[in-house]
Amino acid sequence: MDLSNNDFEGPLPQGYMKNLKAMMGVDGGMLQYMGETYYQDSVTLVMKGSEFKIERILSIFTVFDFSYNNFVGEVPSLIGELKSLKGLNLSHNKLIGSLPSSLGDLINLEWLDLSSNKMVGEIPWQMTELTTLAVLNLSHNHLEGPIPTGRQFNTFQSDSYEGNLGLCGFPLSKICGHDVERPSSPQGNFHQEDSDGSDGIINWKSVLVGCGCGVGFGISLGCIVLSERKIQRLIKVFGGKHGQNRCGRGAKQKGRIKNGKRLCS
């Protein structure tokens, strides 16, 4: 169904979509071409970002192209019922709203182009279920949030999302949760050259030597800070008992200490 490059306007025709019964089933029968009994159909389609002229159209080659019109409104969730779709192109319209999670139900979809619209919100994670999706174009919208990862989403390039300033994560340079961007040519974290040309490798031996010197200096400084009075107090605590044993009964101890011994009178 190709209605591209016209001046259609208004919301997408959901009434027509509900009646596309052939697009809702997945035909696994014998390959047949359209027009075999009367004449051969041909059509020129934009597939996966390139234009192709198809001389004979397979009946299972199901494409929905409403691009380059003036359609407005949201993409209806019933789009997910067209499970036989190989390609879906709604680009260059004036569509708003968020991407419906039902897009993840298009299990046969090989290319999806929703570029150049005004769509907002996050990319639904259900779209990672599209294991046959080879080409994705969501560029030039107003999407935001982290880009889903896994399966086919690990293969798309940054041009699939350009023009969406609110998006972040792989493969974009903008890191989610940060305002900074990755450098265009990332360097290693452990070997960077400083602006003055010096090597930025961390010298762990120097760090250990510095820590050892710092600990030793701290101990020495602590000993200096201790006053003589505190030293005498420590000697009194640990040596007072032995001084009493050396003096006889009734003998008085002098307050003076000589050669580490307390004198008796």
pLDDT of amino acid 190 = 38
Dihedral pair phi/psi, residue 118, rounded to 5°: -130, 40
Q: Report the b/e string of 237-263 with b at 16+ CB within 10 A.
A: eeeeeebeeeeeeeeeeeeeeeeeebe
| pLDDT value of residue 78 | 93
Q: What is the pLDDT of residue 137?
A: 95
pLDDT the model gives residue 184: 42
Q: Which residue has the tokens 């990319």?
A: 123
What is the four-CA torsion angle of 114, 116, 117, 123, rounded to 10 degrees? Answer: 50
Concatenated DSSP letters of 223-243: HHHS-HHHHHHHHHHHHHHHH
| Rounded mean pLDDT for each run of 10 residues along the chain, 265 residues in total | 91 89 67 53 59 57 88 95 91 96 94 96 96 94 96 94 96 80 43 42 53 59 55 59 49 52 54
